[in-house]
Amino acid sequence: MLMAIRLQGMDLEETVALTQALANSGQQLEWPEAWHQQLVDKHSTGGVGDKVSLVLAPALAACGCKVPMISGRGLGHTGGTLDKLESIPGFTVIQSPEQMQGLLEKVGCCIVGQSKELVPADGILYEARDVTATVDSLPLITASILSKKVVERLSALVVDVKFGGAAVFPRQAEARELARALVDVGAGLGLRVAAALTAMDHPLGRSVGHTLEVEEALLCMDGAGPPDLRDVVIRLESPPLHLNPGPTPAGGALLWLNGQAEAQAEGAARVAAALDDGSARDRFERMLATQGVDPGLARALCSGTPAQRRQLLPRAREQEELLAPADGTVELVRALPLARVLHELGAGRSRAGDPLRFGVGAELLVGVGQRLRRGKRGSRPRLSPAAAPPTPSTNCRPPPAGSPWLRVHLDAPALSDPQRRALQGALVLSDREPFAAPSPFSELILPPTNAQQ
């Protein structure tokens, strides 16, 4: 049957029926009726450096939403939201439905793992897909994603569908096909779904790795952090709704979809304000403390400086910095080879249950569009002491000659020569003048209006 679905596909009505059947196979989450319009969530198809959920859930809670985010673990080169949170000592992702309701009452958001009682048929089906070469079936992917969201009883959902060299879908056209299926099937189930298409050739933000991404998420909740991460979370400029949307805010779209903002731009401005005034960070602190983190540690993490935060989280034993192999302007840092090296170093898992090295990761010390100068001939990669996260630069001025472009955090004594070559090969330079880095956002596909339905 699975291969027949993969080869023949399913029409909209069939995919809606399959999704509903999967959702009905287990326990349904129940919330107070008064919460219905407040319940929202976000899902991502996975990427490198994607820490949007860590920022968006508390920001939406600060805007008055209830966010029962059921998230996943990393596998292969993609990082998992649950793994990132578990790098914070004490954080507990296993929460009962009753505990989830308590979290939503006290905090407004929670980020938890999927229990065996929720959508058990999807787990069985996924294992079968894995051994029947049907993992890439569009209807089966759609049903798997949405069935887990239907049981949350949401009023609105945004799905971040990645495309590019480090994404499930290399080409944007393939990602758009899934995005449209998610929006249409969601409408058939009575769920308002918007699907954002975002590029995943370059890592999102400047940090990759569990504790490094937690630090960068906190930096974003300080009202700072890398512009591309903030852009994906909020993006202040939105197109008129009658136009085919271009770059558009995830947070703003959710507040508009569930009726808490009259326009996407208004919703985006509210999410931005939650980041800038500290209210999102306050919700994050409360979520940490309510999900098992010592309140003193949660307070220190959320109120500390970047350097202080780094002392509170697991760290790798060594750091190695790479120098630019040539002069040039940074066109791209390929996310996939970077993630593969970090996977080899222990930041990822090949099989479910594999242990992780939370401190292993990498910091990009330069951004796309910035000019680099070649390191001195014969210079050796430099080991550096523990350092605070780099402050992302918004200008295109080159760093001094010989400055590193990448800092790798590792538990091994040093990178191997093949690993160094792979990382240097991830850096793509050109001869053109410095330029402003583009947004990773490509387009936003909105649900049909009542008139269209």
CATH number of the domain enclosing 75 = 3.40.1030.10
**Co-location of 250 and 288 in the same domain:** yes
**Which residues make Cβ contacts (< 8 Å) with residue 72, sequence separation at least 6?**
80, 81, 82, 113, 114
Q: How many domains does the chain contain in total?
A: 2
pLDDT digits (tens, 9 = 90+) for 148-197: 999 999 999 999 999 999 988 899 999 999 999 999 999 999 999 999 99
Asked if residue 403 is part of any domain, the answer here is yes
Active-site residue set: 41-44, 81, 129, 144, 148-149
pLDDT digits (tens, 9 = 90+) for 214-269: 999 999 999 999 999 998 998 623 333 333 344 445 566 777 777 777 767 788 88
**Co-location of 345 and 224 in the same domain:** no
pTM: 0.89
Asked if residue 260 is part of any domain, the answer here is yes
**Co-location of 288 and 328 in the same domain:** no
Query: Range of 112's domain?
Result: 2-295+441-445
- The rounded distance, in Å, linking the Cα atoms of 348 and 331 is 26
DSSP 390: P
Tell me the β-bridge partners of 361: 409
For residue 295, is pLDDT > 90?
yes
Asked if residue 302 is part of any domain, the answer here is no
**Co-location of 342 and 208 in the same domain:** no
Least confident of 149-158, 229-238, 293-302, 437-446: 229-238
**Co-location of 239 and 355 in the same domain:** no
**Co-location of 146 and 14 in the same domain:** yes
Q: Exposure of 244 by Cβ count < 10 A (0-12 exposed, 13-18 middle, 19+ buried)?
A: exposed
pLDDT category of residue 451 using cuts at 50, 70 and 90: very low
The whole-number average pLDDT for the span 71-91 is: 87
- pLDDT, residue 390, reads 54
**Co-location of 48 and 188 in the same domain:** yes
Q: What percent of the chain has pLDDT over 70?
A: 87
Q: Residue 391 belongs to a domain with what CATH number?
A: 3.90.1170.30
**Co-location of 283 and 400 in the same domain:** no
Q: Single out the residue of 324, 325, 332, 330 nearest to residue 434, CA to CA.
A: 330
Asked if residue 191 is part of any domain, the answer here is yes
Asked if residue 301 is part of any domain, the answer here is no
